[in-house]
Amino acid sequence: MAEPKRVIVGITGASGTILGVRLLELLRPIDGVETHLVMSPAAVRTLGIETDYSLDQVRALADVTHSFRDIGASVASGSFRSEGMIVAPCSVRTLSSVATCMSNDLIARTADVCLKERRRLVLLFRETPLHAGHIAAMDQATRNGAIVMPAVIGLYYKPQSVMEIVDHLCGRALDLLGIDAGVVRRWQGTGQNEKNGEEPGDL
């Protein structure tokens, strides 16, 4: 039997817990994918403020749930094979931990493991506006090998609801792990160059 594709989802206390929840929902029906969830205590609190999901409902979406404080969890080891990790949403605290290699909880430890094993780590950073410290942390996390993906909305596909925006963001994050969840409305080009008889480089 083939080994499943394991995807680790970390949900922190930043605004936007629906991003992590939706990732789990999108991954659940995909054959051959096994999800591992780690939620911070702050994420649990934000979940109750921002959504109608209960903690039990979110945990039920994952194949395996790990305690935020369990540094001995399977995902904390480099021998645990995975496609990578998405932290959605990613708080300033977690971004800073990734930037400084501070593995003081399971989300930060698992993120550091992904980096040292050269696996994909995608951080859906949720903060605005930014000060110099945030920008420096994003720079250092990127130098360490993380992909910092601020949860910036796309408008070219003319979203009609918040959930369309959430789906597009989650789908683009999964793209970075090589997983197509079938929810990204991909840019097809305007056809303007061809109509005008121009070469792409002429613009």
Q: How far apart are CA 153 and CA 119, in angstroms?
A: 25
Q: Is 81 annotated as a binding residue?
A: no
Q: Is 142 exposed, middle or buried (0-12, 13-18, 19+ CB in 10 A)?
A: middle
Q: Is 91 annotated as a binding residue?
A: yes
Q: Is 15 annotated as a binding residue?
A: yes
Q: Is 40 annotated as a binding residue?
A: yes
Based on C-alpha coordinates, what's the Rg of the chain? 18
Q: Is 53 annotated as a binding residue?
A: no
Distances from the Cα of 72 to the Cαs of 21, 76, 106, 111, 154, in angstroms? 24, 6, 9, 14, 39
User: How are beta strands 147-148 and 5-11 bridged, if at all?
Assistant: unpaired
Residue 83, helix vs strand vs coil: coil
Known binding-site positions for FMN: 13-15, 40, 91-94, 126
Residue ranges at the known binding site: 13-15, 40, 91-94, 126, 156, 172
Binding residues for dimethylallyl phosphate are 156, 172
